[in-house]
Amino acid sequence: MGANLPKVVVLRWGHRLRDERVTTHVALTARALGAAGIMLTDVKDEKIRATLSEVVQNWGGTFFFQIGTSFKKAMKCWKAEGGMVVHLTAYGENIEASNVMERIHATGRDLLVMVGSRKVPAEFFSREISDFNVAVGNQPHSECSSLAVFLDRFFNGKELVNEFENARLEIIPQKHGKKVLSRGRA
């Protein structure tokens, strides 16, 4: 992606035992669609860290995974470093019906894109926490889908052709069948 684009990091707030696969899918979506990394706040899950580490080792890139930091500490540090917070929620400004993406782009600031896993506190919607509350549709939906649509809109589709450095495995696009190039172990 272009060097002039801000850095995007995803913050997954909380995580319930039944959310393990969804949290992994949020992280995989973030990585595949251009985010620099993900923070899983207020909980530690080493199994997800191991899964993501294996994905990065095999499929390349520099995606990071941070766990255990409190939401409030992560948010405070992000904002102190000049970053902006985008809260993905069905209650936010509609991504298609408003100019919210233009306003986000106009800031030129690094983004912390926040997705929940359980009912988020009312403070998440406040100006103190969220610079923007964005909805990919004003209906209940999955955090994976909202993240995918948001990142695709933010990067204008360019993330779909990213090349991941140091990949051991690479999918070779095919009309039919599956082909994976293996570069061996380094």
Mean pLDDT of residues grouped by 10 in the chain (186 residues)?
A: 79 74 92 96 86 95 91 91 95 96 97 86 85 93 93 95 93 94 74
Does 2 reside within a domain? no
Does 90 reside within a domain? yes
Asked if 147 and 25 touch (Cβ cutoff 8 Å), the reply is: no
Does 3 reside within a domain? no
Domains contained in the chain, number: 1
pLDDT confidence of residue 3: 56
Cα atoms found within 13 Å of the Cα of residue 180, Cβ hemisphere only: 7
Main-chain dihedrals φ then ψ at residue 82, nearest 5 degrees? 90, 5
Please give the C-alpha separations between residue 120 and each of 53, 117, 130, 159, in angstroms, as whole numbers. 28, 8, 12, 29
Amino acid at 12: R
What residue spans of 33-96 are helical by DSSP H? 46-59, 71-80
Please give the C-alpha separations between residue 105 and each of 78, 86, 111, 135, in angstroms, as whole numbers. 18, 12, 10, 16
Does 101 reside within a domain? yes
pTM of the predicted structure, to 2 decimals: 0.91
Does 1 reside within a domain? no
pLDDT confidence of residue 130: 93
Residue 64 sits in a domain whose CATH number is 3.40.1280.10
